[in-house]
Amino acid sequence: MNRPYTFINVAMTTDGKIDTFERKGAAISSKRDKERVDELRASADGILVGGKTLLEESPRLTVRSEALREDRISRGLSPNPIKVGVVSVADIPLETDFIKAGNTRVVIFTTSQTSKSQIEILRAAGVEVFVDHDAVHDAPRVDLNKMMLTLKKIGVDHLMVEGGGTMNFELIRLGLVDEIMLYIAPMIFGGANSPTLADGLGLVRSDAVALKLANVETHQDGGIVLRYKL
């Protein structure tokens, strides 16, 4: 493919929420699931998050296990996958974990809505910034198809997506996702405004994206992991 093999990984509640209505990054994964996610991160070339997740949660997106980091190094890789942020206005403080945590490349895709001075600040800090100058000014968004081509060119063959719901939906809608992995925790958050796996504008029934169940894993804590192919 001329784009990375892409999979979305999500931890969600039994009622399909990936966070509470507070949107503060509520813990959902169990200890066992966190280990599974760490293995997925270690297997990826890059980990991508959308703007809301990037700006509000400042995720580390690093491999926690020292053994997994050492294994990556033994294979000639960096200890952590490339961090990828996609945001229309990249007003990201340099001290955030997204930029500072871990030893790896940091890449941001943004639009011309980000000021030139901010882009210079990020680049001076070692961040690789790609600006989509073709984004429509009244609705600035990064062209995700072009972004995928760029990721492939810079060495990302296997891309992990960690949200949020709007980014997940857009990638799925555009046919840019190959797999979805879901950890479903035995808990309920509720809330009409709580984020879900796929938010955004939504699709009519005739345009629904079909999934093929590839694997089911049951955990002793009552959680399950579902793996779907698209």
Going along the chain from its start, the domains and CATH numbers come out as: 5-229 (3.40.430.10)
Alpha-carbon torsion, ordered 165, 167, 172, 175, to 10 deg: 180
Phi-psi region of 64 (alpha: psi -120 to 50; beta: other; left: phi over 0): alpha
pLDDT in tens, 97-110: 999 998 899 999 99
Return the pLDDT at 136: 60
Residue 126 confidence (pLDDT): 96
| Alpha-carbon span 110 to 182, nearest angstrom | 28
Q: 178-212: per-residue pLDDT in tens?
A: 999 999 999 999 999 999 999 999 999 999 999 99
pLDDT in the model for residue 24: 85
- Between the alpha carbon of residue 64 and those of residues 39, 61, 153, 212, the distances in Å are 9, 9, 27, 31
Q: Is 151 in contact with 4 (CB distance < 8 Å)? A: yes
- SS3 percent helix, strand, coil of the chain, rounded to 5, is 30, 25, 50
For residue 36, give the H/E element and its range: helix 31-43
Give the pLDDT confidence score for residue 58 in this predicted structure.
85
Q: Is the pTM of this model over 0.85?
A: yes
State the DSSP H helix or E strand holding residue 46, giving kind and residue range, or none if neither.
strand 46-50
The confidence score (pLDDT) of residue 139 equals 56
For the chain, which ranges sit under pLDDT 50?
none
